[in-house]
Structure 1
């Protein structure tokens, strides 16, 4: 069976991305990163999502690097997670420096090792928080780096980076997840990582907006938001 790597955070986008790879008939090899984020909830949810899909193997890597350099509200306790922020194109405090490049680099190495032909990553360039490593230009440039810097193309098995959510709105992502039967109830999006989502951080706001516009009830619980 053909294989694919899925960068799985346990969040909405990566889980829907996993559902797309599953719908294409790939044997799934998710890779999850514990990179010094403020909480471990997303890693725990990623484990549940991987179990839901009966994945052949779920690789979980601890990367202390991001914890050491800080510089992000997601990896430093000294920087507060912004709440009720007007979401625009400015790079927010929750941006983790060059994180997707690091994740993709490791995923490429994993793909080469097991002979996977695809790497799925749930980056999005429409309803997103202003992260530069979610832009299509970055993905295009990284794909070129993979083509030039990996041995896979010379062996006749090039590795393609798949970004099925890149140009979708958050509402379209929710609808796609519902269509594919993705376990949205197992996902977490909150930057604060509580038992209930805060409802007021950037990620919660984007998620809530997406479910509302999709006309779908969000299956997770929130602290500061009452669904109507």
Structure 2
């Protein structure tokens, strides 16, 4: 069975990627990154999603350096998570170099285990303005993998699969529900609490997606949200 590395954060998008890779018949090889993020509850969510799919080996990789340097509301608790609404400008929740590091490490793992693809839940449509969620970024990294890895130069380039890249959040949720993705096990809130805040960009986009899909989000929110 062909293998696929899935970058699994424990959130809605990455869980949907797990469902899509599973439906495509891949042996799932999820990798989750502990980068000192504020919303550490997502690590437990990732473990639950991996267990749901019965994966043989779920790798959790620590990148403490991202917390050491800070520069993001997700790694530096002195920077407040914005709650004013989704902006098209690059927000303070952007983590410098995060997806570049994630893909580099995932590519190393994929090459060692012989995986042919890496799934990542980046989205260039309903997103918070992150530059590392755009098609140009993914194309650039794929080019680097073709010329900078043994698999690439031997004619077995590792593909980066981005099935959610041009979907709305509603389309993502609808696909996930169709595939039976366990959204009740996921978390998206940037605040990292047991109950989602409903106000951060991630919560707003998630609620928007479920509303567009005509479904109710199964995770708990603060009173007044998702009622």
Q: TM-score, normalised by structure 2?
A: 0.98
Residues 1:118 and 1:94: Cα distance change in structure 2 (over 3 Å): same
Q: What is aligned with 1:18?
A: 18
Q: Is the 8 A contact 2:124 2:165 kept in 1?
A: yes
Residue 102 of structure 1 aligns to a residue whose secondary structure is helix
Q: Is the 8 A contact 1:200 1:224 kept in 2?
A: no
Q: Does 1:74 align with 2:74?
A: yes
Paired with 1:82 and 1:128, the residues of 2 have a C-alpha distance of 15
Q: Which runs of 5+ in 2 are unaligned?
A: none
Q: Which runs of 5+ in 1 are unaligned?
A: none
Q: Does 1:64 align with 2:64?
A: yes
How far off its partner does 1:87 sit? Answer: 1.6
Q: What is aligned with 2:47?
A: 47
Q: Is the 8 A contact 2:17 2:120 kept in 1?
A: yes
How far off its partner does 1:86 sit? Answer: 3.1
Q: Is the 8 A contact 2:7 2:118 kept in 1?
A: yes
Q: Does 1:33 align with 2:27?
A: no
Q: What is aligned with 1:8?
A: 8
Q: What is aligned with 2:120?
A: 121
Paired with 2:106 and 2:195, the residues of 1 have a C-alpha distance of 30
Superposed, 1:1-228 pairs within 5 Å as 1-83=1-83, 85-228=84-227
How far off its partner does 1:193 sit? Answer: 1.2
Residue 5 of structure 1 aligns to a residue whose secondary structure is strand
Q: Is the 8 A contact 1:38 1:77 kept in 2?
A: yes
Give per-residue Cα distances to partners, 1:62-112, cap 9 Å, x unaligned: 1111001100000001101111x2322200010000100000000000000
Paired with 2:113 and 2:97, the residues of 1 have a C-alpha distance of 25
Q: TM-score, normalised by structure 1?
A: 0.97
Paired with 1:101 and 1:69, the residues of 2 have a C-alpha distance of 16
Residue 152 of structure 1 aligns to a residue whose secondary structure is helix
Paired with 2:42 and 2:226, the residues of 1 have a C-alpha distance of 22
Paired with 1:119 and 1:225, the residues of 2 have a C-alpha distance of 38
Report the count of equivalent residues.
227
